[in-house]
Amino acid sequence: MTYGRRPLAHRARKPRVERFSSSPFSRSGFDEQADYAPPTRPSRIGQVAGVVGNLLLGSLLLGSTATAAGLVGLAISFRNLPDVHQLRDYVPIATTHIVDIRGEPIASLHGEANREVISLEQVSPEMKKALLAIEDSHFYTHPGINPVSLGRAILGSVGGGIGSAGGGSTLTMQLVKNLFLRPERTLSRKVAEIVLAVRLEQVFSKDEILEMYLNQVYWGHNLYGIQAAARSYFNKDAAELNLAEAAMLAGILPAPETLSPFRNPEGAKRRQHLVLDRLVELNWITPAEAQVAREQKLTLGRITSFQSNAPAVTDAIEAELQRRYGEQALMQGGLRVQSTIDLRLQRLAQRIVNEDGPRIGAARRADQMALAAVDPRTGYVKAIVGGINAQRGQFNRATQAFRQTGSTFKPYVYYAALASGRYSPGSILEDTPVTYPGSPPYSPKNYDNTFYGPLTFARALELSRNVPTVKLADDVGIRNVIAAAQATGITAEMSPNLATALGSASISPLEMAASYAVFANGGYRVEPTLLAQVVDRNGQILFEARPQPERVLDPWAVAVLNQILKGVVTQGTGTAARLDDGRPVAGKTGTTSDFRDAWFIGYVPQLSTAIWIGNDNNSPMLPGTAGGAFVAPTWKRFMTEALQGIPPQDFPSPYQFPPPRP
């Protein structure tokens, strides 16, 4: 089950069994025309012997006995060359791509090589044509080497010395050079290149070799392979490249860093014209087609190294992937990752934090804000904002900042009391002075240093009174309160003392949003996750989120708690969070000692969102900076837009469930 998502698994590549293409154009998308015919394939022994014999003959004709003797020695050492059969299992380094829940790109992660491996069928015919025209127009007819070009290279090496050997390389020779050999310009390296090229052609079909080449070749800016090049240079897939774009990409191959259109547009344009002229010379395109391509205005994309459309969330996803699969698989394995993040909500959250955070900070002496939103039904993390103007690599306050939660912890106290079967919304609590023995004694105080006397259970929580909360925790047992919080997914350390009832424990915004999601989901917990699906480069599903709700809280106690927390928004400390459409909303404000932290955590059945403000150095904000007055309005802004198009839904009534027995 994919829960409405489109699976990321790609189709498996069909094995290719053909050994040699019958036409240079039959699987390359050209017209079925050529001015040459493919030669009959010689045997492997005949090919190697022919290559070496031709080289020896050429050397003898040039009068170089020493060179001929050296080549004989090289022929003897051919057995020590790499085995090209290993390319059957070769897995090139590839880029990992992360998308949101709807498939919109979030980020691309890679090490030194930014590469996406694709099949030959996923490359446009124009790209194949342009590449072969300028690099190896006889590719589909030669056995791995081009004797004419190779002869020129050998003549050059003998005339200029062994160090000058170069040129004459076919695509096959270029491929084996990149895969197996060191980039040195020597005659011995050239001969090894020749032998390996011939061997490669005996093991792989022409199309397979061309596919490997297109996925291996370097296009500058850490871009390896045609797909990464097409995406970066022209912001499109390789299958969509037109003649003008293909000619430019083929043209810059000899020196991609120098000729890159990002750095040298004039040089790239000259090379494009050269490729188009060659295509006309080969009669692979008409002069009119070439002229149209020359005049076409090209729109460049951008370099995509470590591109991210959601910086803060990218770090969190990357950390989770690295924990699961390791850095090598993440940066080189070509994973396809579908995140639970909804980029619409993510952008909305980033915008609101970037707008409200500085405004509140300037007024209340607070330097940071964080936001986390979770879908209670699935556990999917929908948005994470780790700070104002958050960037990649920065401290993520939504996941890494553990701050005291203040009064947002009180619902766990009231839930534990309701679940005990000894309390109901109408039970009376005493908001009167109390002192607990200890060293030193503990005398809890209310936020305003006043006492209200007798209050109903519900009203004490709506008004967020501290003293009744501590008395309640003492009566039901602080360990039972901690157990209730842990049942909802809180993992932070919580000391078994009464101060914990008022939020002395330090918890991250994401963990609080996920914990409140259990209340929103009627007491069912779904393990929160950033990952919806992870697929490897071969289309195998490595991970797929399958939400499995587990009842962890008493349904009646949760239903009653939800009704009380709705009252917090309608007639308590959180009225600034009330939504204009009248949608049922539950939530809780929170403010810690000396105004070091201010919170609002609220939810509807479809979304739970926690927002925190404070200072990274834990210094106090201005007195009076409370969650209800300064955080709840921002929560309202986010939820108003986030819930557009989602029908209002109320929480289950307590009358649907039997109350627990004492």
| 299-350 residue pLDDT tens | 998 765 445 667 778 889 988 998 999 877 877 778 999 999 999 999 999 9
pLDDT confidence bin for 371, thresholds 50/70/90: very high
Residue 505 confidence (pLDDT) above 50: yes
Residue 40 confidence (pLDDT) above 50: no
Amino acid 255 reads A
pLDDT at position 97: 85
Residue 46 confidence (pLDDT) above 90: no
For 186-210, the pLDDT digits (tens) are 666 677 778 888 888 888 899 999 9
d(CA 88, CA 249) in angstroms, rounded, equals: 28
Q: Which is the catalytic residue, given 116, 126, 135, 318? A: 135
For 315-328, the pLDDT digits (tens) are 899 889 989 998 77
Two tokens, residue 265: 């547009």
> Catalytic annotation on 116?
no
Cα–Cα distance list, 426 to 90, 230, 245, 587 (Å): 71, 67, 74, 20
In terms of Cα–Cα distance, which of 142, 171, 156 is closest to 253?
Answer: 171
pLDDT at position 56: 46
pLDDT at position 314: 87
Give the 3-state secondary structure of residue 209.
helix
Two tokens, residue 569: 């928004």
> Catalytic annotation on 407?
yes
By percentage, how much of the chain surpasses pLDDT 90? 63
DSSP class of residue 225 equals: S
d(CA 223, CA 231) in angstroms, rounded, equals: 10
Q: Which is the catalytic residue, given 407, 464, 508, 515? A: 407
Higher-confidence position of 411 and 117: 411
Considering the chain, what is the average pLDDT of its residues? 84
pLDDT at position 606: 98
Structural domains of the chain, with CATH: 44-80+112-295 (1.10.3810.10), 347-656 (3.40.710.10)
Higher-confidence position of 28 and 198: 198
Two tokens, residue 494: 């919580």
Which segment, 218-227, 433-442, 627-636, is predicted with the most confidence on average?
A: 627-636
pLDDT at position 454: 97
Q: How large is the angle between the packed helices 287-295 and 265-281, nearest 10 degrees?
A: 170
φ and ψ of 337, to 5 deg: -115, 125
Residue 4 confidence (pLDDT) above 70: no
pLDDT confidence bin for 68, thresholds 50/70/90: very low
Higher-confidence position of 326 and 602: 602
Out of 78-92, 274-288, 450-464, 550-564, pick the least confident: 78-92
